[in-house]
Structure 1
Amino acid sequence: MAIRIQLDRILLERRMSLTELADRVGVTLANLSILKTGKARAIRFTTLDALCRELNCQPGDLVVHEPGPQDAARAFDDEDDDA
Structure 2
Amino acid sequence: MLLITGGIISCSSTKDKYTDVTDIEDEFKIEKSGAQLWGEACNRCHLAPSPADYNDTDWNTISLHMRVRANLTEKEITKIETFLKSAN
TM interval, shorter chain, is: 0.3 to 0.5
Ranked by relative contact order (alpha carbons within 8 Å, sequence separation 6 or more), the top structure is 1
- Give the TM-score, by structure 1 length: 0.35
Larger Rg: 2
- Give the TM-score, by structure 2 length: 0.34
